[in-house]
Chains A and B, each alone.
Chain A
Amino acid sequence: DIQMTQSPSSLSASVGDRVTITCQASQDISNYLNWYQQKPGKAPNLLIYDASDLEAGVPSRFSGRGSGRDFTFTISSLQPEDIATYYCQQYDDLPLTFGGGTKVEIK
C-alpha cells in the first residue's frame, strides 16, 4: 500500500497568515493526488485534484503543487471559515489511501 505522510498533524495560525501543509507519498505517484477539507461534523469536500487543479467554486486562496513523492497545499491568507481538517489522498494505486490529516485552527 502507498503510505501518505502528512505534516504537521495540527497547526494554529492567525487570520491572514499563509499556511502550508506537506504530504509525502511512500512511492512516486506522479500527480495523482487530491486535497480535501473536512469541517467538524461534515463530509469531506474536494478542493484540489491532480495535485494542483482547483475544483470549481473553490476560493483561489487554496492551492496545491508537487509531483512524484512530495506535495504541498497552501492557504495564501487564512480565513475564519477555513477552520477544518485537511487530507491528502493518492489515487495512483489501490488501495486508495489518505494522509493522516492536518487540523487547522485560528490562533
Chain B
Amino acid sequence: EVQLVESGGGLVQPGGSLRLSCAASGFTLSNYTMHWVRQAPGKGLEWLSYISGTSNTIFYSDSVTGRFTISRDNAKNSLYLQMNSLRAEDTAVYYCARDGVVVVPGQFDYWGQGTLVTVSS
C-alpha cells in the first residue's frame, strides 16, 4: 500500500526556518517525481515545487523560489522541504504528493495527510 507521511510542521516566527519531511512507503521512491503542495486555511490548493526521481530536475513556484528548497534521499525513502525566511502568508497545510505520470509531471496520484505550518509571532 502506498503511504506518504509528512512531519515537521509547527509554529514558527516570521523570518524563521522549518524543514518538512515526507516518509514514503509501499513503492520505490526513486522511480517517481515528487511534489509539495500547500493549502492555506480555508483556501484552495497551491503547487510549490517538484523534484524528479534522480533529483536532476527541480522546479519551484515564484512564491517560494529562493526561500524553499526541495530535496530527497531515495535510500531513506524520504522527501524534504527546507523552508527559510518564512512569512505569515506561508501558513498552510503542506502536502507531499507522488506524481503518477512518467513523461509530463503534474498528476498527483497519492497524497500524504498533510502537516500544518503556522507562521506567527
Contacts and interface: CB of A to CB of B under 8 A. Distances in A.
Contacts of B35: 96
A63 B62 CA distance: 33
B62 A36 contact: no
Given A91-B101, A95-B62, A101-B45, 9 more contacts: A43-B112, A43-B113, A46-B108, A49-B107, A89-B108, A90-B106, A94-B59, A97-B47, A100-B44
A45 interface: yes
Interface residues of B, number: 22
Contacts of B100: 46, 49
Contacts of B108: 34, 36, 44, 46, 89
Interface in A69-107: 87, 89-91, 94-101
Interface in B87-121: 95, 100-101, 104-109, 111-114
A91 B107 contact: yes
A46 B47 contact: no
B54 interface: no
Interface string B30-62: 000001000000001111001000000001011
A95 B47 contact: yes
Contacts, number: 57
Nearest to B60: A95
> A interface, how many residues as a size bin?
20 to 34
Contacts of A36: 45, 108
Contacts of A42: 113
A91 B95 contact: no
A77 to B, nearest CB: 25
A96 B35 CA distance: 10
Contacts of A49: 100, 107, 109
B81 to A, nearest CB: 16
Contact of A55 (B45, B46, B109, B112): B109
10 contacts: A44-B45, A44-B111, A45-B111, A46-B109, A91-B104, A95-B47, A96-B35, A96-B47, A97-B47, A98-B45
